[in-house]
Structure 1
Amino acid sequence: MNILMLSSTFPYPPTRGGTQVRTFNLLKYLSQRHSITLVTQRDATVTEAEIVALQDCVDRLVVFERPPESGTSAGIFQKIQRFISFLQQGTPPSVINRYSSEMQEWIDNFVEAGKCDVITCEHSVNEIYVRSHFQKQLRTVVNIHSSVYGSCYNQLATGISENKLRDKINLPLLRRYEQSYCSKFSEIVVTTEEDKIQLQEFNPHSEITVIPNGVDLVSFPYRIHDPGGHRLIFIGAMDNLANIDAVCFFSQEVLPEIQKIYPDTTLDIVGSHPTPEVLALKKQPGVTVTGRVPSMSEYLHKSTVCIVPMRTGFGIKNKTLEAMAAGVPIVASDRGLEGLAVDGSSTPVRALRANTPAEYVSAITQLFNSPQLRAELSINGRELIETEFTWDIAGERYEKACCGSDGNYEI
C-alpha cells in the first residue's frame, strides 16, 4: 500500500519531543510492509546528516523549508489581524503559521496523480493540507496527538495559561475548529480514551481509534539494580509549557518539604531547551538542570524515583512510559498517569498517584523508605510496558487504522 505521511515537524532524531517520537516510530513500523512517502519541513536546527538518516527509513522523503515564525514578535495590529482571520476562516494562527503553499501544491499534485492509497496527518496541525474532497479519492487519517480545545480548556482550568484573556476568547473558536476539520477524515486516531470521549462529543459519527504511545525497549532497557538514595528525576522537553509548570510547581512547593525530612534529596531536571524560568531553578538547593543528554536511560537508571507532576496536558506521557520501561518507580499526578492502569482493586500497583504537595511528600517518602515497594513498582511498570506499550503494538494498530476496518490491503 502507498502511504503519504504529512508531518510539519521533522521527525528525526526521535528524541527531541513527543511529536517526533510518535511520528518516527509509527512510520518506521509502517515502512516494513508499505511504501512510505514522507512530506515534512525543516528548520535551522535540522542537519544534513539527519535528513540523510531519515531518508533511509522511508521510500521517499520530501523536505520543505519551514515558514518563518510570525507570532512571537508581532505587534498589536498583527495580532488583531490574526484573530480576525481565525474568526472568519476558522483555522488557528498556530496552524496557519506552519502552512506552506509550496508544500500544499506538491501534496495536491501527488494526490491528483493517484500516487497514494492513504494520506495521514501526523499531528492535527497538518490537517490544513487535506482537502475535503480527498476523502472521495483515498483514505484520510488524522493522528491527533492531543486535542487543541482540550489543552486550552485544561490550561485555563488549572490557571497556567500564558494569556488567559486570549485563551478564553479562543476556546469556543477552537471547539468549532476541531469539529470542522475532523469531518475531513475517514479515521481519527487519538492516544487516550479521554481524548476519544471528548472528540466523539464533537464528532459523534466519526470513526475514532485509541492508539497509545509506545517505548523503544532498546533505548530504554530495564535497569539491573536499584541505586537507593534520595535522587529524584524529571524528564522531558524543557521548553514545553506543561513541563515548565510541572517542574516549577514541584521545585517550589514539594521539594523543600521533602528536604526537611531528607536533606540530601536532589532533583535532576533532564531535557532539551530549558527556558530561563527552568534554568533559574538551579538556584534552589539540590536542583540540577542538565539540558539535553546523550542517554536519557542512563540518568533514569541512577535515580531513586521519577516524578511526573503534570498539572495540564492531554494524552499519554512518553516520559511516564519511558521511566516505567527503565524500571524506575514513579510518583505522578492524574495527568501524568492519563491512559494508564496503575492502581485499583484489580490492578497491580505500577505507580504511586499524587496531586497535592502533601500527597507527593507522602508517596515519595514511602518509596525512599521501602526497597520492597520500589522493586514492586519497578517490576510491575516494566511488565505493563512490555505487554501493552511497545511501538510494535502501536504500529500494528496504526496499520489497521490506515488500512480500514476490513484490514485488507496490498503490499
Structure 2
Amino acid sequence: MKKILVLNHFPTALPPTSGGTLRYFHIYENLSRFYDVTLLSQTFGNKGGLFHYSSSFREYKVAKDHFYNKIVQDLQHNELTYEFALIIQTELAKHPTLFKNHFKSLYPSSDVVIHESPFLLNYDSYIRKDHKPRVYNSHNHEFMLAEQIWKNKEARSYLPAVFDLEKNLVNNADLVFSTSAIEKKLFAAKYNVDPSKIKLAPNGIHPDGWLPRKEGANKKTLAFFIGADYPPNVEAVGYIVDHLADCCPEMDFLIAGGCCSPFSNAPCKPNVRLLGRVRHKQKIKLLAEADIAINPMFTGAGVNLKTLEYLSAGIPLFSTHCGVRGLELIDKKHYIHAEKKDFASKLNHHAGDHILLRKVAARGQNFVNEHYSWRSIVHRMKGEIDKLLF
C-alpha cells in the first residue's frame, strides 16, 4: 500500500465530535481502506503517543514541548485564545520541536504528504525539493476566515503571514481539496493559481448514524444548536441567548458543545439550557429529540458540518445563508432561510407549521444523504490522489 503522511495542528478524537475532528477522522479512516495512513498531530496538552485505529490507520499525537512555553512567554499572550493557538503553531516551526523530529523520521517512508492547514507548512522543509506529491486538504480558506474572525489587534498583525503561508501552500501543492465551489474560486483568484488543480472535497456525514425522530415529545417547540468553542459558534450562542430567547418566549432553546463555555456564568433565562460538551451518543439522542435545529451563523468559512448533521438527521433547519454556505440548499425546499434581522420572526411564524417543516426536513435529508456521504466524498478524493501516485 502507498503511504500517506498527514500533518495537522490539532489531533482527532474517537469518536470525533467537533467539525474539524469529524472531517479529519472520517476522511482518513475511509482513505485507509486504500492506503497506509499516518496522522501526525499536535496535541494541546503534555501527553502524546501513538494510537492505532486499524492496521493501516494510526496517529502520532505529539505532546507540547518546552519551545511551546517559550513562544507563549515571548508573545506575552494567553495561548488558549483561538487566534494565538494558531499563531503559536506557525512560530513553533522555527524551532527543533518534537513535532519536527517526528516529521523528519516519518517523511522518508511516505509516498505523499498532505497538509490539513497552512499553519504547519514550514515544518515541511522538503517541499519542492523532492519529487513527492503534496496535497492541501483545506478545511477552510484560512486567510479569509482569519480576516473575518480574528479580533485581537496583535493577532491581526500576523494576517500577512497567514496569507503568505496559504498562498505558498496552494501554489506548491500538486493538488488542493476545497470544501465548496465558492472557496475553490476564492483560492484560484486570491492566490493566482490554476483552478484545474483544485478539486472539491466537501464535509460529509454517515447517513445511517442517526436515531429515529421523536416528534411531538416536547411541550414547547425545542430548538437545538450545537458547536465547538470556536468564535463564530460563540457569536451564534450570544445571539440566541441575548436575542432569540427574548423574542421567542414560547420556545425552548437547547445549546450543546464547547460554545457554551463563555456563557457559563451568564444570567440564566427560563427558556435557555446550556448543556456544555456532550458525548457522541448524547448528541445523537439530542438530534432525535429536538423539534427544530437553528444555525444563526454570521461569520465563517468552509462548509458547516453541523448543517449537514442537522439535515441528515431529519431535523427541520432554520439557518442564515452563512450557515448553509457552499451547499446549494434552497429556501423552503431544504431549509428555512433567516437572517439576523428576521430570525426570530421566521421562527415564530414557521415553527408551528408542522406540515411545511416535515416536507422541508424530508427534502433536506434526502438531498444531503445523496450528495454528502463520507464514503462517496472519499471515493472521489482517492481518484485524484491516485493520479499523483500511479
- 1:8-407 matches, cutoff 5 A: 8-44=9-45, 52=51, 54-56=52-54, 58-67=56-65, 69-70=68-69, 74=73, 78=76, 92-97=87-92, 101-111=97-107, 113=108, 115-134=109-128, 136-155=130-149, 161-163=150-152, 165-166=153-154, 168-206=156-194, 207-221=197-211, 223=213, 225=215, 227=217, 229-237=220-228, 239-259=229-249, 262=250, 265-272=251-258, 274-275=260-261, 277-281=262-266, 283-294=268-279, 295-343=282-330, 349-357=333-341, 359-404=342-387
SS at match of 2:351: helix
Residue in 1 that maps onto 2:81? none
Deviation at 1:70, TM superposition (A): 4.6
TM-aligned CA deviation for residue 245 of structure 1: 0.6
Q: 1:321 to 1:59 in 2, by over 3 A?
A: closer
Unaligned runs of 5+ residues in structure 1 are: 80-85, 156-160
Q: CA deviation at 1:47?
A: 8.4
- Residues 14 and 137 (structure 1), Cα distance of their counterparts in 2 relative to 1, 3 Å cut: farther
CA distance in structure 2 between the aligned counterparts of 1:74 and 1:110, rounded to whole angstroms: 30
Residues 282 and 289, structure 1, Cα contact 8 Å, conserved in 2: no
Q: How far did 1:182 drift?
A: 2.4
Tell me how far apart the structure 2 counterparts of residues 326 and 38 of structure 1 sit (CA, whole Å).
Answer: 29
Structure 2: 5+ residue stretches without partners: 78-83
Shift of 1:244: 0.6
Which residue identity is paired with 2:222? R
Per-residue CA distance 1:351-372 (angstroms, 9 max, x = gap): 1111123x21232123322111
1:82: which partner in 2?
none
Secondary structure of the residue aligned to 2:298 is coil
Q: Which residue of 2 aligns with 1:158?
A: none
**In 1, Cα distance between equivalents of 2:113 and 2:307:** 30
- Distance, in Å, in 2 between the alignment partners of 1:311 and 1:383 is 26
Q: Give the aligned length.
A: 375
Report the secondary structure of 1:233's partner residue: strand
Cα gap change, 1:19 to 1:67, in 2 (>3 Å): farther
Deviation for aligned residue 1:57: 6.2
- How far, CA to CA, are the matches of 2:9 and 2:293 in structure 1? 31
SS at match of 1:274: helix
Distance in 2 (CA, whole Å) between partners of 1:106 and 1:126 is: 13
8 Å contact 1:19–1:123 — kept in the other structure? no
Task: Note the C-alpha offset of 1:72.
Answer: 9.9
Superposed CA RMSD in Å reads 2.9
With over 3 angstroms needed to count, the CA separation of the structure-2 counterparts of 1:351 and 1:279, relative to structure 1, is same
Q: 1:391: how far off?
A: 0.6
Q: Map Cα deviations across residues 73-112 of structure 1 (whole Å, 9 max, x no partner).
A: 647x757xxxxxx9xxxx944422477633323323443x
- Cα shift at 1:60: 4.7
Specify the SS of the correspondent of 2:101: helix
Please give the secondary structure, in 2, of the residue aligned with 1:404: helix
CA contact (8 A) 1:70 1:97 kept: no
In the aligned structure 2, how far is the partner of 1:30 from the partner of 1:73?
Answer: 36
Distance 1:175 1:252 in 2: 34
Asked if the contact 2:236–2:298 (Cα under 8 Å) also holds between the matched residues in 1, the reply is yes
* Larger CA deviation: 304-313 vs 146-155: 146-155
Cα distance, 1:330 vs. partner? 0.7
| TM score, norm. by length of structure 1 | 0.81
3-state SS of paired residue (2:13):
coil
